[in-house]
Amino acid sequence: MHSEFAIEARGLSKQFGELRAVSSLDLDVPRGEIYGFLGPNGSGKSTTIRMLCGLLTPTEGSATVLDTDVPENSKDLKPKIGYMTQRFSLFGDMTVFENLQFIAEIYSYPFADRSTRIGELLDRYDLVAQRNQLAGTMSGGERQRLALACAVLHHPELLLLDEPTSAVDPQSRRDFWENLFRLAGGGTTILVSTHYMDEAERCHRLAILDHGVKVADGTPQELQNRTGMHVLEVIADDPYAAQGAIHELEAVASVTQLGVRLRVLIPDSHEHPRELVEHALAARNLKATTRLTAATLEDVFVAVTMKPRKT
């Protein structure tokens, strides 16, 4: 009997000396979905992924991946997962075709079917023209497509992607995500870590990590609906002066300038956030228009990871 979840973790923790890289992480990743880990560098994303695929032993807690307990039975898990790191980890002095051949050998892919499978991957990931090119001479986007082709060659049930788009241009990122949706549509479960807000918004569900702690999880829409904050957009003639005036308000949790606009977060406990901001601006004779607006995923991220304000 298969669990409805591809990944289940309870109290998963990892200590490196004095550093607690991951702390008491509970995780449920549904099968066939794209699940995102959103967080800055050092938030525990990579450490978690390495524990889930058996490369690191947890200090505390437990995890079941594809109905397999890790790290105890990691050997049984390896044929079922694909793993792609943020750094290109294939062989630069081998051609695209040779890299794919090598991966097929590692996974003992049926010899009679290898040529057909490699041909499929070259075509699907737009690598036909690069077939005989050395991987080390390829562009960032081409290497990313090759790394993904290698990660899925053996038809894994679960794909673990650790910051896979950190070194490619926006068009390559969009193309990469189209490939991920195609894989998820075919039943592959995908766990992807990122620090890009637009990528996190594409995930079916996501968890936000901060200093090794899961501070929020849910669908992007659910997270945006429960920020616990009023979100105001302020357009001022002098945005820098307006930011200073708003920042002085004790009720304001965060104020950020985005071009000519300011984005202001005020906890839901305050009943009249707009009047509060407008009064502060008027007291300084600053001309501005204000409006309440819906939260973005970036607002959610700021709200759940912000440090207490210094007074």
For residue range 189-218, list pLDDT tens digits in order: 999 998 888 889 999 999 999 999 999 999
Give pLDDT, residue 74: 86
**Which 8-state DSSP code applies to residue 168?**
S
CATH 3.30.70.100 maps onto the chain at 228-294
Mean pLDDT is lowest, of 137-141, 232-236, 305-309, for: 305-309
Question: Does domain 228-294 fall into CATH 3.30.70.260?
Answer: no
Distances (CA, A) of 309 to 21, 227, 248: 24, 18, 11
Average pLDDT over residues 220-249: 94
What's the rounded mean pLDDT across residues 61-89?
Answer: 88
pLDDT digits (tens, 9 = 90+) for 130-140: 999 999 999 88
Tell me what pLDDT residue 311 has.
Answer: 44
Residue 26 in contact with residue 209, Cβ under 8 Å? no
**CATH 3.40.50.300 region(s) of the chain?**
5-221
CA distance 138 to 96: 9
Q: Write phi, then psi, for 210 (nearest 5 degrees).
A: -145, 115
CATH number of 5-221: 3.40.50.300
Report percent pLDDT > 90 for the chain.
77
Segment 12-15 long-range contacts (CB within 8 Å, at least 24 positions apart): 12/48, 12/51, 12/58, 12/60, 12/61, 12/62, 12/63, 13/58, 13/59, 13/60, 13/61, 14/44, 14/47, 14/48, 14/51, 14/56, 14/58, 14/59, 14/212, 15/59
Give the per-residue pLDDT at 308.
57
For 11-23, what is the mean pLDDT? 95
